[in-house]
A and B are shown apart, each in its own frame.
Chain A
């Protein structure tokens, strides 16, 4: 899927995104995400903002730059960013071609993002480029599974899932390593499908 097609897909999804995600999924993952975002410090880059549902879990008083490649998603995120108790700037940008100088950010956070970036390794290389030396990448992502029957099911579901939303079979920890991150630590949140990844 090209970037333009992916952008259109997520623009189309923006209208119903909060309806689908703001209750069950966000409530179930809420406490985990609060802990996941808690170590935010320094100049923070958040990719991709979506409709801004995750902003409620950010610790207050941070300096955060958020991007998304879907203008419709960003429209929905604006009020949430405006009410954040800290500094938060939103910009429309493609993860695969970031408009930031090298070594800009102390930390990069992603949340269910690299299931949707058309070229995930290129996107992760960009994150590595904009991270300061010694900076940390922290990801809350769903990935494919290594275990039967979950891997078989995800492969069966993927053609439908990728048509209307995210891919469900990606090897995101492998992509992080392929992008050049050296120290990659993975913690399973649900099975080996929902995972927290930390890399430097």
Chain B
């Protein structure tokens, strides 16, 4: 379990940032004219694509897989959720960023919990 404040701060910032960017992009792109399943698929894959440059930048400062894995998960989930909402009702770019950023925190908590569960001796 990571306990160094610098890296915990980096994990939080990376996930909130990527979630916010992906959420804002989905809010800008998706409208109520989109069928929801298509919007969600586009959100997931576009979220992953948008994640790559942000992930590479954050990785320079905060680590490799510890940064890459939760950021990728955040971007996929933020892309799907915000795209789904935007296909149902109008979502402003600011709201999309807020939703996306907020999704980053539970995703990070999930990966920390999974890491604690899987730590130690393995097969």
Determine if A153 and B72 form an interchain contact, defined as CB atoms under 8 angstroms apart.
yes
Closest to A142 in B: B65
Kindly identify which residue among B7, B69, B76, B120 contacts A193, using a CB–CB cutoff of 8 Å. Answer: B69
The interface residues of chain B lying within 8 Å CB-to-CB of A191 are 65, 69, 111, 114-115, 118
Known A28-B7, A28-B66, A193-B69; contact A23-B118, beta-carbon cutoff 8 A = no
Separation of A158 and B61 alpha carbons in the complex (Å): 22
Interface range on chain A (Cβ under 8 Å from partner): 20 to 34
Known A24-B67, A193-B69; contact A188-B119, beta-carbon cutoff 8 A = yes
Q: How many A-B residue pairs have CB under 8 A?
A: 72
Known A23-B60, A24-B62, A25-B63; contact A147-B118, beta-carbon cutoff 8 A = yes
Determine if B121 and A185 form an interchain contact, defined as CB atoms under 8 angstroms apart.
yes
Number of chain B residues close to chain A: CB under 8 A: 29
Does B73 belong to the interface (CB within 8 Å)? yes
Known A187-B120, A188-B122, A191-B111; contact A28-B62, beta-carbon cutoff 8 A = yes
Kindly identify which residue among B60, B120, B122 contacts A20, using a CB–CB cutoff of 8 Å. Answer: B60
Closest to B64 in A: A25
Residues of chain B in range 51-89 having any CB-CB distance to chain A below 8 Å: 52, 56, 58-69, 72-73, 76
Interface residues of B (CB under 8 A from A): 7, 10, 48, 52, 56, 58-69, 72-73, 76, 111, 114-115, 118-123
- Can you list 28 A-B contacts (CB < 8 A)? A19-B60, A20-B59, A20-B60, A24-B10, A24-B64, A25-B59, A25-B63, A27-B63, A28-B62, A142-B64, A150-B114, A153-B73, A156-B48, A173-B123, A185-B121, A186-B121, A186-B122, A187-B120, A188-B119, A190-B65, A190-B69, A191-B65, A191-B69, A192-B118, A192-B122, A194-B65, A194-B66, A195-B122
